[in-house]
Amino acid sequence: MVQSVQGDADAYGVLNESEYFICYKIGLCYTPHAMAPIVVTSGGSFTDVDALACAVAYAELARLQGKDAVAVLPRPLNHTITKMVQDQRPVFLKVAPTDVSGYVLVDISNPTWVEPFVDHAKVVAVFDHHFGYEDYWRERIGDAAQIEMIGAAATLIWEAWVAAGLEDKISATSANLLSIAIVSNTLNFKVPITSDRDHTAFAALAIHTTLPQGWVGKYLAEVEASIGGDLADILPNDLKIETFAEFDQPIHIAQVEVYDGLAFLTANKQKLIDFMHHQPSPYAFVDIPSMGDEHTYLLAENKEVQDLLSQKLGVSFADNVAVTPTLMLRKMIIKRLRTAD
Ligand SMILES: [Mn+2]
Q: What are phi and psi of 325, to 5 degrees?
A: -70, -30
Q: Are 132 and 338 in contact (CB under 8 A)?
A: yes
**Separation CA 251–CA 100 (nearest Å):** 34
Q: What are phi and psi of 76, to 5 degrees?
A: -60, 145
Tell me how far the alpha carbon of residue 154 lies from the centroid of ligand 1, in angstroms: 7
State residue 28's pLDDT score.
47
| Residues with a beta carbon under 5 angstroms from ion ligand 1 | 50, 107, 153, 185
Q: How far is the CA of 101 from the centre of ligand 1 (A)?
A: 25
The Cα–Cα gap between 30 and 39 comes to 11
The predicted-structure confidence for 81-139, as pLDDT tens digits, reads as follows 999 999 999 999 998 888 999 999 999 999 999 999 999 999 999 999 998 999 999 99
**Helix (H), strand (E) at residue 35:** none
Which string of b and e fits 175-191 if b means at least 16 CB within 10 Å?
Answer: bbbbbbbbbbbbbeeeb
Distance CA 255, CA 238 (A): 6
Q: What is the DSSP string of 195-246?
A: -HHHHHHHHHHGGG--PPTTHHHHHHHHHHHHHTS-HHHHGGGGEEEE--TT
Residue 4: the pLDDT is: 31
What pLDDT is attached to residue 228?
67
Name the E strands within the chain: 38-41, 69-72, 102-106, 123-128, 145-147, 239-242, 251-255, 284-290, 295-299, 321-323
Q: How high is the pLDDT of residue 5?
A: 35
Q: Identify residue 303 by its one-letter amino acid code.
A: K
Angstrom distance (rounded) from CA 91 to CA 75: 14
For residue 256, report the distance from its CA to the centre of ligand 1, in Å.
Answer: 14
Give me the domains of the chain, ranges plus CATH numbers: 2-222 (3.90.1640.10), 230-338 (3.10.310.20)
Helices and strands counted in the chain (H then E): 13, 10
pLDDT at 339: 87
CA of 80 to the centre of ligand 1 (A): 11
Question: Which ranges of the chain have pLDDT less than 70?
Answer: 1-34, 228-229, 341
d(CA 177, CA 181): 6
Q: State the distance between the two ends of the chain, measured CA to CA, in whole angstroms.
A: 55
DSSP-assigned letter for residue 76: P
Measure 146 CA to ligand 1 centroid, in angstroms: 13
Compute, in angstroms, the gap from residue 6 CA to the centroid of ligand 1: 25
- pLDDT score, position 11: 34
Q: Quickly count: other Cβ atoms within 10 Å of residue 212's Cβ.
A: 8
